[in-house]
Every structure is written in structure tokens, then in C-alpha cells.
Amino acid sequence: MKITLIALINNAALLLVLSVIYQQTSQINDKNTKLKQIVNGILISLTCIAIMSIPFKLNEGVVFDTRSILISLTALLFGAIPTTITVVVASIFRIVQGGAGALPGVSVIISSALIGSIWRSWIYSKVKKIRWLNVYLMSIVVHVVMIACMNLLPYPDRINVIKEITFPVLLIYPVVSVLLYLLLTQQQAFLQVQGDLKQSEKRFRLLFNNTPLGYQSLDINGKIIEVNQQWLETFGYSKDEVIGKWFGDFLHPTYKIIFQEKLSQLEKTGQIHGEFVIQHKSGIYL
């Protein structure tokens, strides 16, 4: 039992690759949804093969690994195309491996994908709270079915196998499924926030550059870090002539003093308001 537990935990560690795949493929443009799904499917298939290549060997031709976790979570979180690719590749690989466990092995692959897909469509999408518990229950179902698939082994091997794997599988696999799910959803939330920030910045940049009014952005020391085209056209400067310069240098002497006072307020309040008279490049004040 101890050897079985250690072997299954070591195999489960490979599942962390799934989080790397999720992070990397998130860089693919959302407009290329189908391409992203295909790439996900290929990379997850390769991960599945790696997992199946270093299994825990119970008997001759009977091996165990964490493919059921990988495939069920792929079906739950990644959708139909990556799941289908992974199921086909994993099934072919298991058949090529051969042995008495080939038939139950392929059955586990297919059943894990089906349960994950059903959970995604009928249960997971409708539950908004305590989703980790939802995933835990799904994993229990997946692995009860996995153990049931061992009845496809010849007698009396199936009896010994079921006795050997039932406790460690039902103890470890649902917990690993939940931990991997939490890691993936945290990544998803982070990437969503990152994407929203990029979109927000893009909208602000579009507004900043195309507004009919002149705008400048200053750092906390009052130096100009950005100006829009309207500002440059209004005051006659090129961008190189203003970026990095102190904003007060462009003001009427009276307003320069006011600006210095307001700049000290900026450090305390985080914002300043006021109207200033700015010197045009020709020397006149506007």
C-alpha cells in the first residue's frame, strides 16, 4: 500500500504541466479559438503520454497513472476539441502498450472524458458556489467508475487489483483533482484580470490619443511622461521636446509657482486640479 501511494503521488506531480500549458496557450489571440483548442489538445495529449510512460506497474500488463485526473479536468475546463484529441491519442498509446490492462485502460480514458464532459454541460456550469466541492464529487464519480472498469481484467487479477488500488485512488485522486483545479482557476482569474487591464489600457490610449483636447500625463515629480497629438499641435512642440521635461518649465511664471504648490499636494492626496497658462513654442502664452 505504501509503495502504491508513493508511486501515485509521484505520477500526480506531472499534472502540474497542465497549468503550464494553460498559461502558455492563453497567449494565443482569442480570435483564434479553434487554433487555441487544437494546440491545447496536442500539448495535453503529450502530457498524457508522459504520464502514461511512467506509470505504477501493479501486475504484468496492468499499470496505473493519473490520466483519469488529466482527462476529466481537460473535459471539464478545456472543452470538447482538446478532450477529443487527448482521448484519441491516449487510447492509441494505451493499445500500443498492450497487456491485460489495455481494455480497462481505454475504458478509463473514455469514461473519464465522458463524465468530465457531462459534468461541464449539466452540473458545473450551473453551480457558482463551492465549485471545488463540485470538482471533488466529479472526481469521486470518475474514480469509482475507473475502479469498476477493473472488472474487465481477467479473473482473479481483477479482484487483487481492485483491493490494491481502491483506497489510495479514492483518497489521493479526488484531492489532487481539486488542487489542480484550484491552481488552474487561479491562473484563469489572474489572466482574466491581466487581459481586462490590457483592454482598459488600450481603450484609454485610444481615447487619450484621439480626443480633441490636449492632455499630458505627469509623474509624481511633475515631469511629462506622455502627451497626446492635440497637445503637441496646440502648443507647437515635438514629442522629443517635452517628454521628460518638468511641466512647470512650460508654464507662465505665475502659474509655475501655483504648480509647485499643487505638486506638493499631489504627494499627499494623489491628485491635483487646476488651470494653467502654458507657453507656446513661439513664446506666447495660451
**What is the pLDDT averaged over residues 161-171?**
86
Give pLDDT tens digits for 253-263: 888 888 887 77
The answer, yes or no, to whether residue 242 has pLDDT greater than 80, is: yes
Q: What is the predicted pLDDT for the residue at 26?
A: 66
Q: What is the predicted pLDDT for the residue at 90?
A: 94
Measured CA to CA, the distance from residue 273 to residue 259 in angstroms comes to 10
Measured CA to CA, the distance from residue 28 to residue 50 in angstroms comes to 24
Q: What is the predicted pLDDT for the residue at 96?
A: 92
Of all residues in the chain, the percent with pLDDT exceeding 70 is: 86
CA atoms within 13 A on the CB side of 121: 9
- Among the residue ranges 44-53, 57-66, 167-176, the one predicted with the least confidence is 57-66
- Domains, the chain, ranges and CATH? 2-203 (1.10.1760), 211-269 (3.30.450.20)
**What is the pLDDT averaged over residues 220-230?**
83
Of residues 117 and 126, the one with the higher pLDDT is 117
The answer, yes or no, to whether residue 69 has pLDDT greater than 90, is: yes
The answer, yes or no, to whether residue 88 has pLDDT greater than 80, is: yes
- Residue 253 CB-density burial (10 A; 0-12 exposed, 13-18 middle, 19+ buried): exposed
Which one of 51-60, 154-163, 204-213 scores highest in mean pLDDT? Answer: 154-163
Cβ neighbours of residue 103 under 8 Å, at least 6 residues apart?
A: 152
Give pLDDT tens digits for 28-40: 666 677 888 888 8
The answer, yes or no, to whether residue 4 has pLDDT greater than 60, is: no
Q: What is the residue-averaged pLDDT of the chain?
A: 82
Q: What is the predicted pLDDT for the residue at 270?
A: 63
- Residue 282 CB-density burial (10 A; 0-12 exposed, 13-18 middle, 19+ buried): exposed
**Which cell numbers in the block locate residue 286?**
495660451
Q: What is the predicted pLDDT for the residue at 207?
A: 67
Cut 0.85: pTM above it:
no
Give residue 2's Cα distance to chain centre: 34
Measured CA to CA, the distance from residue 225 to residue 245 in angstroms comes to 8
DSSP collapsed to 3 states, the chain: CHHHHHHHHHHHHHHHHHHHHHHHHCCCCCCCHHHHHHHHHHHHHHHHHHHHHCCEEEECCEEECCHHHHHHHHHHHCCHHHHHHHHHHHHHHHHHHCCCCHHHHHHHHHHHHHHHHHHHHHHHHHCCCCHHHHHHHHHHHHHHHHHHHHHHCCCCHHHHHHHHHHHHHHHHHHHHHHHHHHHHHHHHHHHHHHHHHHHHHHHHHHHHHHCCCCCEEECCCCEEEEECHHHHHHHCCCHHHHCCCEHHHHECHHHHHHHHHHHHHHHHHCCCCCCCCEECCCCCEC
